[in-house]
Structure 1
Amino acid sequence: MRTLSALDTFIGHVDNALKTLVPKASSSHRANPALTQTAHEMSAQEQRHASGLMRINHTGEVCAQALYLGQSLTARLPEVREAMNEAAEEEVDHLVWCEERLHELDSHTSILNPIFYGLSYSIGALAGAIGDKWSLGFVAATENQVCKHLKEHIQILPVQDQRSRAILEVMLEDEERHAATALQAGGAVFPPLVQAGMTQMSKVMTKSTYRI
């Protein structure tokens, strides 16, 4: 396998950023789970609420893309670097599904996505530089945070919005697997204080992207 040069890596990461941030620039490998569900009428308020929740989840996937790519940049072990790249590819499905659902709801993705992408990329690169054990542990902790949001959103979505619910249920299954895989690969379990700090940071993202 050919070793990528620094320029190759840079171009690949820029390409990922554009595909993540530009609407309809990415395509999923799996069929959208929403297609298995019938669309039901919702009130204007219910539609706004569903849109806000799906916008949060879309931004979460934007952050996941940036996090994994940033970590792959500085990961020391080749197998860890490859695992980060594979995880990022799997998250593309989630990104596309959420974007498609937002379009169906006549809504939009968050205008804050470029900011969150940049922050997440930097955090991922820093985590990777500290060491693969902590980098993988950060993946597990982050995925656990995502799972908490997904479980909550599944519960508070409008009852008739089965299309959004179908997407979130598949995402939850994937994210739980990613977290378990990171720990099995040798990721460190973060102490409660650190996890609490991550929870507070995630609240900033959720509250800001619900509407914008």
Structure 2
Amino acid sequence: MLLPEGKEQAFVDAYCSHYQKLYTNGIDSDNLTGLINKRQFDRVQTLLEHEIAVNSKVVACHSNSISTDRQIMVTHLIVNPKVDSPVMSEEIFGPLLPIITYSTVEQAIAFITARPRPLALYLMSENESLQHKVSTQVHSGGMCINDCVFHLAVDDAPFGGIGESGKGAYHGKEGFLTFSHAKTVMKTDAKAHNVSQLLGPEDNEFKRAVLASLCA
């Protein structure tokens, strides 16, 4: 999460308040799931414990926050971790949300573009000029404006990464092209191999065309 400087506490308070309405009993809420196995839980917990050990500001979104035995934890907000820390350099795939503050939009854009291209980009803004600026200047696999994740649900629009976040896209026509391979089959008369026209000393139209394409 990239957030304007000075809005950290307001964001943390609002996030935790809404979280507690959704998951009233923390890790004992019926609608809160855990990580898929112990290995993944241990991986995410190690990221969290590192931030606590280096005195980053870490806020659990509910006081009933973690159960190692059940491999479940509430979302933890991590405010301004070091940019080279493990939680900022590894894919999290768990309930940890780093928050990085910026002073100008240009600084935020520079922060994103200096790093591997993201699978998704979510912009929360009603400013149409800013919407245009971010959507045209920042590379990402997909983007939502004032929403998140739901571009995945648009089944006739391509979904996929770019650069380090993936290659190709799926859904509809794009999915068919990504997961299939068009095989070229070229058939030439057995008595008129094109390659023979390249090897002889004489000049011919085919040789000139091939040489022109190579020298273009």
TM-score bin, normalised by smaller chain: under 0.3
Please tell me whether Structure 1 or Structure 2 has the larger radius of gyration of its CA atoms: 2
Greater helix proportion: 1
Greater strand proportion: 2
